């Protein structure tokens, strides 16, 4: 399941894949509660500095510099105080609260192949609680066996266990990229993994996709297809691109109102915004990638559908055929390229075309 939330690190809005249901409930603030228990031994000023740095008072986390100005000390001194607190908490790793927090985080990361994106980790474990997210970040700084992986050209900011292999990640990611490049299109999960396996991937299917889940270059779209993150089929930008993806995934013509609803249902619209059907209609009617094939119905032009009135489509079919055709042959041919009622085709035949023989029609010759 994918939802949109603010990144803990950048403040940007990002699409994140999370555990089903985790975004719909407020998780108990267990991380914050445990940190409160530990902080009972902190000096008042030290506690306030930690609270400010990790946003534990319900406000946005403050920078080292801002905290230093508030207390009249240098940012380096603030960093030292926080490092000292982390060290003291680390010394209490045998206590029940610490063990509980560590096991919860470690099991979560281990269950996802040993690596998980920061946004996924914080959203799934801390829910919508800023205080719990701050406490979770504090504890992550305490754990030596859980390492933060900084953002790179190919990988999102992540957390991994000490046993996670960067070389394995690079190998799997490299093969996955080569498979997608060779295919030249997005791929369903099963096809993607089988092709990667034939290309040299030795990890099982779950681990393969766990590893790719932190890639910034390879992503999965709302319909379960994998591809390059900058491709239109994975990250469509404008209304036309989003509509094209909805139609492509649907595989048959759709009414512009249904296309608009599909864009929103797939999570392709920006947070808090709704796609307006008339906007979709206005965009599609002037784009050559789409064909109006019925009343409000649009298809993709590369499906073979034709533009124009039914009369124009029939005339083109007859000219291409090079002679007369039976009524049923014409109806079948028109139905392949337009979504239109049989009766509409018959009316056009009887009105605008010449009948030759029994139920055969040809283009009317002008006198």
Give the CATH number for residue 320.
1.10.10
Q: How far apart are the first and last CA of the chain?
A: 65
| From 10-24, 39-53, 86-100, 150-164, the region with the lowest mean pLDDT | 10-24
User: What does each C-alpha distance from 193 to 221, 225, 246, 314 come to in angstroms?
Assistant: 16, 12, 24, 45
User: Does residue 120 lie within any of the structural domains?
Assistant: yes
325 plus 275 within the same structural domain? no
Q: Report d(CA 251, CA 269) in Å as an integer.
A: 21
Instruction: Assess whether 9 and 137 both reside in one domain.
Output: yes
| 95 shares its domain with 145 | yes
Measured distance CA(168)–CA(121) in Å, rounded: 21
Q: Is residue 296 part of a domain?
A: yes
pLDDT of residue 83: 96
pLDDT digits (tens, 9 = 90+) for 64-86: 999 999 999 999 999 999 999 99
151 shares a domain with 71: yes
Give the pLDDT of residue 7.
39
Judge if 127 and 39 occupy the same domain.
Answer: yes
Give 137-191 as a 3 state SS string.
HHHHHHCCCEEEECCCCCECCEEEECCCCHHHHHHHHHHHHHHHHHHCCCEEHHH
Residue 6 lies in a domain: yes
Give a yes or no: residue 32 inside a domain.
yes
Kindly state whether residues 30 and 142 are assigned to the same domain.
Answer: yes
Q: Model confidence at 61, in pLDDT bands (50, 70, 90)?
A: very high
Three state DSSP letters for the chain: CEEEEECCCCCCEEEEECCCCHHHCCCCCHHHHHHHHHHCCCCHHHHHHHHHHHCCCCCCCCCHHHHHHHHCCCHHHHHHHHHHHHHHHHCCCCCHHHHHHHHHHHHHHHCCCCEEEHHHHHHHHHCCCHHHHHHHHHHHHHCCCEEEECCCCCECCEEEECCCCHHHHHHHHHHHHHHHHHHCCCEEHHHHHHHHHHCCCCCCHHHHHHHHCCECCEEECCCCEEEECCCCCCCCCCHHHHHHHHHHHHCCCEEHHHHHHHHHHCCCCCCCCCCCHHHHHHHHCCCCCEEEEECCEEEEHHHCCCCCCHHHHHHHHHHHHCCCEEHHHHHHHHHHHCCCCHHHHHHHHHHHEEECCCCEEEECCCC
The CATH number linked to 79 is 1.10.10.10
Residue 321's pLDDT is 86
| pLDDT for res 272 | 81
Least confident of 24-38, 167-181, 337-351: 24-38
In a domain, 233, yes or no: no
Counted domains in the chain: 4
Predicted confidence (pLDDT) at residue 167 exceeds the cutoff of 50: yes
Q: Which of 138, 161, 184 represents a domain boundary (last residue)?
A: 161
157 shares a domain with 8: yes
Return the C-alpha torsion angle 229, 230, 233, 235, nearest 10. 80
Same domain, 25 and 108: yes
Is residue 340 very low, low, confident or very high in pLDDT (cuts 50, 70, 90)? confident
Among 251, 281, 303, where does a domain finish? 303
**14 pLDDT above the threshold of 60:** no
Are residues 24 and 157 located together in one domain of the fold?
Answer: yes
**What residues are paired with 297 via a beta bridge?**
255, 294
Q: Are residues 64 and 115 in the same domain?
A: yes
Say whether both 120 and 220 belong to one domain: no
Query: What average pLDDT does this structure show over 52-62?
Result: 91
Q: Are residues 6 and 150 located together in one domain of the fold?
A: yes
Is residue 234 included in any domain, yes or no? no
> Domain limits at 192?
166-228
Last residue of a domain, one of 131, 161, 191: 161
| pLDDT band for position 358 (cuts 50, 70, 90) | confident
C-alpha distances (whole Å) from 200 to each of 30, 177, 203 are 43, 12, 9
* Helical axes 277-284 vs 256-265, angle rounded to 10°: 120
**pLDDT value at residue 366:** 63
Mean pLDDT, the chain, whole residue set: 88
CA distance 333 to 142: 70
Region 189-217: mean pLDDT is: 96
What pTM was estimated for this model as a whole?
Answer: 0.73
> Could you tell me which of 121, 114, 122 has the C-alpha nearest to residue 206?
114
Residue 59 in domain: yes
pLDDT level of residue 21 (50, 70, 90 thresholds): very low
Contacts with 90 (C-beta within 8 Å, 6 or more apart), sequence order: 142, 144
Is residue 28's pLDDT more than 70?
no
Percent of the chain with pLDDT strictly greater than 70: 92
Which band of pLDDT confidence, cut at 50, 70 and 90, is reported for residue 92?
very high
At residue 283, the pLDDT reads 93
């Amino acid at each position: 399941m994918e939802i949109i939330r603010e990144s803990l690190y950048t403040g940007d809005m990002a699409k994140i894949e999370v555990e089903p249901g985790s975004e719909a409930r407020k998780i108990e603030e267990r991380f914050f509660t445990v940190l409160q228990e530990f902080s009972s031994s902190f000096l008042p000023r030290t506690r306030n500095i930690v609270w400010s740095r990790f946003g534990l008072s319900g406000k946005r986390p403050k920078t080292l510099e801002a905290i230093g100005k508030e207390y009249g000390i240098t940012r380096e001194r603030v960093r030292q105080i926080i490092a000292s607190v982390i060290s003291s908490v680390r010394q209490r790793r045998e206590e029940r609260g610490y063990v509980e927090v560590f096991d919860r985080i470690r099991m979560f990361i281990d269950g996802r192949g040993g690596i998980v994106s920061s946004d996924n980790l914080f959203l799934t474990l801390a829910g919508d609680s800023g205080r719990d997210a701050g406490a979770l970040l504090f504890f992550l700084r305490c754990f030596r066996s859980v390492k933060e992986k900084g953002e790179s050209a190919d990988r999102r900011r992540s957390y991994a266990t000490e046993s996670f292999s960067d070389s394995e990640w690079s190998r799997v990611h490299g093969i996955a990229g080569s498979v997608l490049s060779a295919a030249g299109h997005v791929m369903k999960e099963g096809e993607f993994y089988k092709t990667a396996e034939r290309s040299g991937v030795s990890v099982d299917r779950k681990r393969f996709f766990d590893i790719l889940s932190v890639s910034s270059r390879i992503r999965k779209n709302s319909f379960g297809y994998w591809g390059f993150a900058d491709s239109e089929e994975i990250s469509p930008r404008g209304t036309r691109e989003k509509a094209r993806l909805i139609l492509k995934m649907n595989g048959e013509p759709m009414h512009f109102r249904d296309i608009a609803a599909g864009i929103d249902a797939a999570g392709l619209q920006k947070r808090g915004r709704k796609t307006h059907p008339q906007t979709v209609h206005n965009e599609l009617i002037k784009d050559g990638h789409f064909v109006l094939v019925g009343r409000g119905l649009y298809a993709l032009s590369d499906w073979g559908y034709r533009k124009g009135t039914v009369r124009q489509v029939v005339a083109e079919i007859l000219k291409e055929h090079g002679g007369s055709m039976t009524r049923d042959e014409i109806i079948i041919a028109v139905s392949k390229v337009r979504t239109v009622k049989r009766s509409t085709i018959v009316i056009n035949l009887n009105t605008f075309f010449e009948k030759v023989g029994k139920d055969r029609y040809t283009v009317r010759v002008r006198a």
